[in-house]
Amino acid sequence: MRPAEPVTVGLVIPGPAHRIGVEPYFDELVAGVEEVLHPLGCSVLVLVVPDLSAELATYRRWSEDGTVQLVVVVDLLEDDARPGVLTGLGMPYVLAAHVDSPYACTSDVADDGARLTEAVGYLVRLGHRHLGHVSGPAHLVHTGERRRAIARAAADLGVRVETVEGDYTAGSGVGAVEDLLSRPWRPTAVVFDNDVMAVAALEHLTANGRTVPGDVSLLSADDSPLCEVSVPPVSAMTVDVHHRGHRIGRSVLAVLAGGHARQPPSPLSQVVVRGTTAAPRLVAAGSSG
């Protein structure tokens, strides 16, 4: 369905610009959105802002000057103010999340929970009983979904999991894995909520004399080319971010046509086994590992 006249879709990415430049997720997402919209005469305007107040100010400016006709909202927050602000401005929008709203396009958040459940099951089948989890920022809706899912899966399977909060940056991945490995009980496997944290932790551990997966297995809940080119390549859960962008693009067209944004769910995520996961080493009786 082609819009009656040219439309510009705005996508504001909150967070430090240096993180966005390193993480391939948003490049892949925007490329998928553009593949759907560009052939129909729509353009995508991407803006990186430091915080929520700057994001809301951007929406107000776009509403006043008519630069953007529809907004895609990413990284949904707990008690998020953005949908209400956009509704008050009369600005159509699409939520890149699974919530109870006709403007929510995907089941991505629900998929996030299933992804962490499958990650735990895979590691337990390898023989791991002590797991670490490096999450994203706690204020994000999908972080809460992931944390709840991994805790439920661990409880159901009778294993121990402890979560440390990160912020998706390389530095937080390094700090979190050091935190986990310095505790009285040492996890034999660690799941990271994104690829950047997982690859940074891998590089840090190997540079400091630890072997992966010999000393500890690492698994990323997001897959990307970063996971494929690391040494060794990082095992990860499949995520087709490009296809996710396609679904967002189709949601945009549906909302512009007066419909609801909901799209069919993605295929279930599976483990891509590479070089950073293996059965845990046997430890001496009485060891905390």
Say if 125 falls within a structural domain: yes
Query: H helices of 158-240, where?
Result: 170-181, 195-207, 225-229
3-state SS, residue 40: helix
Domain check: are 54 and 81 in the same one?
Answer: yes
Say if 95 falls within a structural domain: yes
Q: Are residues 12 and 90 in the same domain?
A: yes
pLDDT for 284 equals 33
Q: State residue 189's pLDDT score.
A: 98
The two three-digit tokens of residue 181, written as one number: 């490995």
Q: Report yes or no on 273 lying in a domain.
A: no
CATH number at residue 101: 3.40.50.2300
Residue 284 included in any domain = no
Same domain flag for 120 and 210: yes
Clarify whether residues 195 and 125 are in a common domain.
yes
* Structural domains counted in the chain: 2
Same domain, 191 and 156: yes
Per residue of the chain (289 residues), give pLDDT as tens. 566 577 999 999 887 665 555 567 788 889 999 999 999 989 999 999 989 999 999 999 999 999 999 999 988 888 889 999 999 999 999 998 766 676 777 655 446 788 899 999 999 999 999 999 999 999 888 898 899 999 999 999 999 999 999 999 999 999 999 999 999 989 999 999 999 999 999 999 999 999 999 999 999 998 988 999 999 999 999 888 888 899 899 999 989 988 888 777 777 788 999 999 999 985 433 344 3
Q: Are residues 232 and 247 in the same domain?
A: no
β 235-237/271-272 pair status: antiparallel
Residue 173: the pLDDT is: 97
What is the extent of the structural domain holding 99?
Answer: 7-107+240-267
Give the pLDDT of residue 286. Answer: 37
- The distance in angstroms from the start CA to the end CA of the chain is 57
